[in-house]
């Protein structure tokens, strides 16, 4: 297949592009380097150094003999987006290219507006580009489990059959997200479902949980192929942060009482889920939703798992929660779609956690101490 990966310079987009290329697909890679600009703005860097887009692409060619076709530009530019889709002529488009940090979207009004504009407008331009160039292209869009929030009923895969006053209908599952970033994904989901319904597009919305890990079979093949490893309180995700804090000898920062539960998955499962979704497309007109997670954990349980895996003393600290989120809640997620396509999940074991410790040790001098503790508060700055 010909697969265009949007956001291919990012944490997940890069290893996904390599995984698809290694599986024999012709892969195009698109990015506007916004993520590298957020690093500059926040004064932090990936814990593991990453090469330029050009160097990564060249390294993959040397290692695998395979070519990645680059497109550098911004999805919020409609002409660029349509030209890229027309130029590459993909069978499938994998869309990772959004501002993805909840805390970044909650810094102030300007960051909330940027996040929603970047994400919603970029996706809308993409929908128009697909409809214009070839409505048969399968859109594989990264959504997020956080779209659902923590409802007191089972979380179904995107749709809910409800009976109201004796009548029954199938509706998009009601959403209760927890940040302006997560809300941007809800808006995207509605726009994509609408485009499937009115234009007959085919789309898969992957409501992915929190990702952990840093290496895949392909990124491991050469240090120049490494993907990012974020540790800061804005972009670092929780398990990766706990691992880094343990190695640095800092307390693990559990927000609140740690009774929040989140769906999670390993990065090697992310890339495999994307391959499965691409190779098994949605039907024309279908808005298909998969919940892309393999296990769920209470955060206090996650912190204890990291502490037990680390060969040394680890302190767990409960910080006042900078976010507004529910504790002690019901959480039961249906996630049968991707296993049904053949996913064999890597479950969190001490082996994975232990494999991350030496990566952190080797790069620990790159950590900026000031970036470890959360500074963005959900009830904080309204304007910058």
CB closer to ligand USQ, 281 vs 322: 322
| Residue 12 contact partner, candidates ligand USQ, ligand NAD, none, CB within 5 to 8 A by sort of partner | ligand NAD
The verdict on 147 binding ligand NAD (CB under 6 A) reads no
For residue 242, give the nearest of 312, 303, 309 by alpha carbon: 303
Give the binding-site size for ligand NAD (rule: CB under 6 A). Answer: 28
Phi, psi of 284 (to 5 degrees): -55, 135
The verdict on 293 binding ligand NAD (CB under 6 A) reads no
| Residue 263 contact partner, candidates ligand NAD, ligand USQ, none, CB within 5 to 8 A by sort of partner | ligand USQ
CB closer to ligand NAD, 37 vs 171: 37
Give me the least distance between CB of 95 and ligand NAD, in Å please. 7
Give me the least distance between CB of 276 and ligand NAD, in Å please. 16
Q: Among all residues, which ones are annotated catalytic?
A: 144, 181, 185
Which of 34, 42, 84, 226 is close enough to bind ligand NAD by CB under 6 A?
34
Which of 118, 179, 189, 218 is close enough to bind ligand NAD by CB under 6 A?
118
CB closer to ligand USQ, 145 vs 371: 145
The verdict on 211 binding ligand NAD (CB under 6 A) reads yes
The verdict on 118 binding ligand USQ (CB under 6 A) reads no
CB closer to ligand NAD, 97 vs 307: 97
Query: What binding mask, one character per residue, do residues 200-239 give for ligand USQ by CB under 6 A, x or -?
Result: ---------xx--------------------------xx-
The verdict on 120 binding ligand NAD (CB under 6 A) reads no
The verdict on 26 binding ligand NAD (CB under 6 A) reads no
The answer to whether the Cα torsion of 170, 174, 180, 181 is positive or negative is negative
For residue 263, give the nearest of 206, 328, 323, 332 by alpha carbon: 332
Q: Whole-angstrom Cα distance, residue 112 to residue 189?
A: 18
Q: What is the 3-state secondary structure (H, E, C) of the chain?
A: CEEEEECCCCCCHHHHHHHHHHCCCEEEEEECCHHHHHHHHHCCCCCCCCCCHHHHHHHHHHHHCCCEEEEECCCCCHHHHHHHHHHHCCCEEEECCCCCCHHHHCCCHHHHHHHHHHHHHHHHHHHHHHHHHCCCCEEEEEEEHHHCCCCCCCECCCEEEEEECCEEEEEECCCCCCCHHHHHHHHHHHHHHHHHHHHCCEEEEEEECEEECCCCCCHHHCHHHCCCCCCCCCCCCHHHHHHHHHHHCCCEEEECCCCCEEEEEEHHHHHHHHHHHHHCCCCCCCEEEEEECCEEEEHHHHHHHHHHHCCCCCCEEEECCCCCCCCCCCCCECCCHHHHHCCCCCCCCHHHHHHHHHHHHHHHHHCCHHHCCCCCCCCCCCCC
Region 224-243 residues binding ligand NAD, contact defined as CB under 6 A: 228, 237
Stretch that binds ligand NAD, among 44-52, 109-117, 206-214, 358-366 (CB under 6 A): 206-214
Region 84-113 residues binding ligand USQ, contact defined as CB under 6 A: 100-102
CB closer to ligand USQ, 84 vs 356: 356
The verdict on 377 binding ligand USQ (CB under 6 A) reads no
**Interacting residues with ligand USQ (CB under 6 A):** 100-102, 144-146, 182, 209-210, 237-238, 241, 253-255, 260, 262-263, 299, 323, 325
Q: Where along the sequence are the contacts to ligand NAD (CB under 6 A)?
A: 7, 9-13, 31-35, 74-76, 96-100, 118, 122, 142, 144, 208, 210-211, 228, 237
């Amino acid at each position: 297949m010909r697969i265009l990966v949007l956001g291919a310079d990012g944490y997940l987009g890069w290893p996904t592009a390599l995984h698809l290329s290694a599986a024999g697909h012709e892969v195009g890679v698109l990015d506007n380097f916004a993520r590298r600009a957020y690093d500059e703005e926040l004064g932090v860097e990936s814990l593991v150094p990453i090469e330029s887009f050009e160097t990564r692409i060249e390294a993959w060619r040397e290692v695998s003999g395979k070519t990645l076709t680059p497109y550098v530009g911004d999805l919020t530019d409609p002409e660029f987006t349509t030209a890229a889709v027309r130029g590459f002529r993909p069978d499938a488009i994998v869309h990772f290219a959004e501002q993805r940090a909840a805390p970044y979207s909650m810094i102030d009004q300007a960051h909330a507006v940027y996040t929603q504009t970047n994400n919603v407008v970029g996706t809308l331009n993409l929908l128009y580009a697909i409809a214009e160039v070839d409505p048969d292209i399968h859109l594989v869009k990264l959504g997020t489990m956080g779209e659902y929030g923590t409802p007191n009923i089972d979380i179904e895969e995107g749709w809910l059959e409800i009976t109201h006053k004796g009548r029954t209908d199938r509706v998009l599952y009601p959403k209760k997200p927890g940040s302006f970033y997560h809300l941007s994904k809800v808006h995207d989901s509605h726009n994509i479902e609408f485009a499937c319904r009115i234009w007959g597009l085919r789309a898969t919305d992957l409501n992915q949980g929190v990702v952990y890990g840093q290496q895949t079979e392909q990124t491991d093949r050469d240090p120049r192929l490494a993907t990012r490893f974020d540790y800061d309180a804005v972009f670092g995700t929780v398990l990766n942060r706990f691992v880094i804090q343990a190695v640095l000898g800092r307390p693990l920062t559990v927000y609140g009482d740690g009774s929040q539960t989140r769906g999670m998955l390993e990065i090697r499962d992310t890339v495999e889920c994307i391959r499965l979704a691409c190779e098994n497309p949605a039907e024309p007109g279908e808005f298909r939703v998969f919940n892309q997670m393999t296990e769920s954990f209470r955060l206090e349980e996650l912190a204890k798992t990291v502490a037990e895996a680390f060969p040394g003393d680890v302190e767990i600290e409960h910080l006042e929660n900078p976010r507004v989120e529910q504790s002690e809640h019901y959480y039961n997620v249906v996630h049968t779609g991707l296993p049904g396509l053949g996913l064999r999940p890597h479950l969190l074991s001490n082996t994975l956690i232990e494999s991350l410790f030496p990566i952190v040790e080797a790069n620990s001098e790159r950590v900026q101490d000031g970036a470890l503790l959360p500074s963005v508060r959900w009830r904080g700055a309204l304007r910058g």
